[in-house]
Structure 1
Amino acid sequence: MKPSTACRLAVATVLTLTGGAVDATVVTTCKAAAGSDGRVDYGFCVSELGKHHDSPSADTWGLAKVAALTGVVNADNAVYDIKALMAKHGTDDGSARPALGRCQELYDSMGFAFAEAHDNINNRDYTGGKEKAGEAAALAHQCDDVFAKAGVPSPVAQYSDYSLQIAVVCSAITNLVQ
């Protein structure tokens, strides 16, 4: 299947699942972001930005901020899940517990980095916003590295993947605002 066909199918699926509630601005902004930055997953962009309550009334500038806020929520969810994993008795082994503790710190920092990206974009400091989104992505990589060095599979890999994707979306949309 061609990538363009896959993108159209992904959008059609999103529109079907949401009852067509995804705003045209989300679709056009994500299309422009994917067109300007090959790292942007168009289907992910439409799906995730389309879920946010501020998206229907947001312009491109607003969607860049929504992307940053979505990163904050993802980081907070990761911290919550890490705390729950650390409370379980099964994480008492010597390598998983310290890795989880370190990733909790990293995800705390990531939440702040995405919040700062939002604030910078809101203040029209687009370079600063993109730098903070990049910092958030680097923190996700650091968490992945912690688990790799510990020799255990990451139980929070889905959060890292999401963080990396939303950081790219945030930066790409911010580039459209400039």
Structure 2
Amino acid sequence: MKPSTACCLAVATVLALMGGVVDATVVTTCKAAAGRDGRVDYGFCVSELGKHHDSPSADTWGLAKVAALTGLVNADNAVYDIKALLAKHGTDDGSARAALGQCQELYDGMGFAFAEAHDDINSRDYAGGKEKAGEAASMAHRCDDAFAKAGVPSPVTQYSDYSAQIAVVCSAITNLIQ
């Protein structure tokens, strides 16, 4: 077997083990976004955008909108989990309940911010889209701050981290649109 054939087979095996092939546009767009904005986590970008059903047919403009939609879904999932935590009988600590309540409001607002980012990008108002994505990231940080002030660990840290990262991806990809 030629070395080039062995290399191609190895790459194909790795891609098969990863669960499929990520569209080349996602890869090239994430690479360009990471190259232009050092805050972009290339692996996160490829992984998360590659999961969305619209990504294979999306151009850069479409991928910016996919990033905003992905942020919206994450915010909605956070609200669902926060409501479940508030309904639990074990959440009797007043400061934790207050922080959860504040985060529920913030994640509701974050969902709207990501939806508005999508709409702005769709309308080609790129500055507005980036501003709304930035607002979403700010709300994630404010949720983390609410738990820090309460002196309790946040049960929604994974949502905050995700929201901040996808907001950066959304803004960075929007910056690539000509």
Does the alignment reach a TM-score above 0.5?
A: yes
Partner residue in 2 for 1:99: 99
CA distance in 2: counterparts of 1:152 and 1:53, whole angstroms: 37
Number of residue pairs the alignment of both structures matches: 168
Q: After TM superposition, give the deviation of residue 94 of structure 1 in Å.
A: 1.4
Query: Is 1:52 the equivalent of 2:52?
Result: yes
Q: Distance in 2 between matches of 1:172 and 1:38?
A: 9
Change (3 A) 1:62 1:143: same
Structure 1 residues 114 and 17: CA distance shift in structure 2, 3 A = farther
Aligned alpha-carbon RMSD (Å): 1.7
Q: Deviations over 1:93-150 (max 9, x none)?
A: 1111111001000000000000000000000000000000000000001000100000
User: 1:149 maps to what in 2?
Assistant: 149
SS in 1 for 2:53: coil
Cα distance change on mapping 1:13 and 1:151 into 2, 3 Å: farther
Could you tell me which residue of structure 2 aligns to residue 7 of structure 1?
none
- Structure 2 counterpart of 1:61: 61
1:10-51 alpha-carbon deviations (Å, 9 max, x no partner): xx9984444332100000000000000000000000000000
- In structure 1, give the amino acid aligned to 2:163: S
C-alpha separation in 1, matches of 2:121 and 2:138: 19
Residue pair 1:14, 1:47 contacting (<8 A) in 2 also = no
Amino acid at match of 1:28: T
Equivalent positions of 1:82-161 (< 5 A) are 82-161=82-161
Runs of 4+ residues over 6 Å off in structure 1: none
Say which SS state the counterpart of residue 139 (structure 1) adopts: helix
The structure that has the greater radius of gyration is: 2
The 3-state SS of whatever aligns with 1:95 is: helix
Residue identity matched to 1:122 = N
1:77 paired to 2:81: no
Question: Can you give the 5+ residue segments of structure 1 that lack an aligned partner in the other structure?
Answer: 1-11
| Structure 2: gaps of 5 or more residues | 1-11
Inter-partner Cα distance in structure 2 for 1:20 and 1:107 = 32
The letter of the residue matching 2:31 is K
The separation in 1 between residues aligned to 2:110 and 2:13, in whole angstroms, is 31
CA distance in 2, matches of 1:16, 1:167: 29
| Shift in Å, 1:60 | 0.3
CA distance 1:13–1:166, change in 2 (3 Å): farther
- State the distance in 2 between where 1:74 and 1:65 align: 14
Secondary structure of 2:90's aligned partner = helix
2:38 is paired with a residue of what secondary structure? coil
- Counterpart Cα distance in 2 of 1:174 and 1:59: 11
- Could you tell me the percent identity over the aligned residues? 89
Cα displacement (A) at 1:90 = 1.0
